[in-house]
Amino acid sequence: MAEEICFFTKDDLIIKPPKKSPALLRMIVIVFAMVCGVYICSTCLKQTNTETTRKLLNIEVIERPCHEYDRSQIPYLHYPKPKTFSRAECSCNPVRLFAVLSAQRSGSGWFETLLNSHINITSNGEIFSVKERRENASSILRTLDMVYNLDLITSASKNHCSAAVGFKWMLNQGLIQYHKEIVEYFNNKGVSVIFLFRRNLLRRMVSVLANSYDRYARLLNGTHKSHVHSTEEASTLAKYKPEINTTLLITDLKRMDASTKEALEYFNSTRSIFLYYEDLIKDHTKLEDVIEFLRLPQMNLTSRQVKIHSGPLQEHIKNWDDVNKTLKGTAYESFLRSDY
């Protein structure tokens, strides 16, 4: 660029510096702005990536699968996510599912109180006594989902860390009618089945008849109780002696026996254990077998229930002589003798 030369006087020469181009200044500003912009953008991107990584890490920790136990037990271990409450710190505590299959007056109520005395067990009672829950296969499966997802709250429900959850189910409460759907559900869900029946069907018959009578007579101060917790109450209920129809006695015993065998046949593909009420009364190690079957720590199980019809059967049947004659020499003669 040529310099501007000005002469103010004859003898003096003054040289002016060249003027800076406005275009150059603009270029410098633009370049500086671009550099700053690139720096700011790169910094923001780094912060965004860091925050995203943190979120992903947090999600990974939250959704990390619970600890896996013995792989052979995985089908029987469940981690329920109830809709009605949060299991919180118990969310990774595995839960085993079970069902007690029985018949009325076979000791299932007493047996369930024993189970519920275990700190890790919740048995929810006779949930299918409610007809709406067993109207069809769909309503049954829907109810089972509620029970095993811990969304059916009963008086027996314990804390959120129960290690085994189940209920008792009578044979005449849709169990036999919809056995195919139920067996499939049990096998898919890994539900363990506890069969509980009475060996002495004559004693069971006496208990059924006496309980049916008390539904209307209400011998305990105008109230009906299927189970009692004092010897005084048991003695009051035992005063009633049912009269058994000997004409139908053999037929009725055969029918009761057949229903037990039918249930065992239908549910033989499930993981199961079979118990007789009489054996539990006489041999308390049988309870240890149940706890081991459920893979839970052993505990001393207790119940406040008191047996109603104790002692020889002849003291509890009004027409004992007729019953005795009817069963003598038959396959059911052994029922006449006291077995515990």
Distance CA 182, CA 187 (A): 9
Share of the chain above pLDDT 90, in %: 68
Count the residues in the chain. Answer: 340
CA dihedral 254, 260, 261, 262 (to 10 degrees): 100
Q: What is the pLDDT of residues 180-209, one digit of tens each?
A: 999 999 999 999 999 999 999 999 999 999
Q: What number is the average pLDDT over the span 167-174?
A: 97
Share of the chain above pLDDT 70, in %: 76
Under a CB-based contact definition with an 8 Å cutoff, are residues 220 and 296 in contact?
no
Look at residue 133 in the predicted model and tell me its pLDDT: 97
- Of 242, 226, 246, 252, nearest in space to 308 by CA: 226
**Cross-strand bridge partners of residue 97:** 165
- Non-local (6+) Cβ contacts of 26 within 8 A are none
Q: Which position has the higher pLDDT, 299 or 91? A: 299
Q: What number is the average pLDDT over the span 306-315?
A: 94
Instruction: Report the chain's C-alpha Rg in angstroms.
Output: 39
Look at residue 156 in the predicted model and tell me its pLDDT: 72
CA 307 to centroid of chain Cα atoms = 29
The pTM for the full model equals 0.79
Q: What is the pLDDT of residues 22-48, one digit of tens each?
A: 666 667 766 666 666 666 666 655 555
Look at residue 84 in the predicted model and tell me its pLDDT: 83
Look at residue 298 in the predicted model and tell me its pLDDT: 96
Under a CB-based contact definition with an 8 Å cutoff, are residues 92 and 108 in contact?
no
Look at residue 218 in the predicted model and tell me its pLDDT: 96
CA dihedral 221, 130, 84, 160 (to 10 degrees): 60
pLDDT at 111 over 60: yes
Distance CA 95, CA 164 (A): 5
201-217 and 249-266 helices, crossing angle to 10°: 100
pLDDT at 248 over 80: yes
